[in-house]
Amino acid sequence: MAGIAKLHELVARHGGADLDPAEIVVGIETDRGSWVQALTASGYRVYAINPR
């Protein structure tokens, strides 16, 4: 949870506190797991990207 909280702080610092989470797009190497669940629960748009 501490890592997710730090990510939210980073996003808010760069995008502004009033940024709509639906405007944030995250590319990540997997389409499942605790990070993906936490990001989608926060309203971010999450896409799995093949690292190759």
What is the C-alpha to C-alpha distance for residues 41 and 47, in angstroms, rounded to an integer? 14
Contact status, residue 36 vs residue 30, Cβ threshold 8 Å: yes
Q: What is the pLDDT of residue 36?
A: 92
What's the confidence (pLDDT) of residue 7?
82
Residue 46 CA, chain-centre distance (Å), reads 7
pLDDT digits (tens, 9 = 90+) for 18-29: 888 888 899 999
Total domain count, the chain: 1
- Could you say which residues of the chain have pLDDT below 50? none
pTM score: 0.75
Long-range contacts of residues 34-41, Cβ cutoff 8 Å, at least 24 apart: 35/3, 35/4, 38/4, 39/4, 39/7
- Domain coverage including residue 25: 2-48
Q: Which of 28, 29, 13 is nearest to 44 (CA)?
A: 28
What is the pLDDT at residue 16?
Answer: 75
The pLDDT, as a whole number, for residue 37 is: 92
